[in-house]
Amino acid sequence: MANEHWYVLKVRPGFAAVVARKLRKLEFDVFVPESKAMFSQEPRQLNDCVYCRFDLQQRESVTAVPGVLDVLGTPEPSPVDGDFQQSRLTTR
C-alpha cells in the first residue's frame, strides 16, 4: 500500500461506470467524477475518465480491464494525490 497513488484513467466514452464496477471487483479504490448538466439538476458521470488508486506495478491489471484505454501521464503516469483524497469518501 505504501506505493499506491491515485491516477487518472482514460476510458472509452460511456464506460466509466462499467470500468469502475470491474475495478472495484478487483478491490481497487475508484472514484468517478460527476458534473451537473448545464440545464439539468441531475448529476451525470463524466464519460472519459476514472480515478483509481493502485501501485504502478499493477498497471497491467488496471489497463487490462475492458474499457480502460490508458493511465494518463507523459511519459510516465503522474499521481494525483493531495486534496483529491479529501473528496474520496464515497469511492467504494
Give the pTM: 0.74
Tell me how many degrees the CA angle 56-15-90 measures, rounded to the nearest 5: 70
Answer whether residue 90 shows pLDDT above 70: no
39, three cell numbers: 440545464
The domain made up of 5-87 has a fold known as Alpha-Beta Plaits (3.30.70)
Write the pLDDT tens digit of every residue in 40-84: 555 554 568 999 999 999 999 999 999 999 999 866 788 887 655
Nearest to 65 by CA among 79, 76, 80, 50: 50
| Whole-angstrom distance, CA of residue 34 vs CA of residue 46 | 6
Answer whether residue 21 shows pLDDT above 90: yes
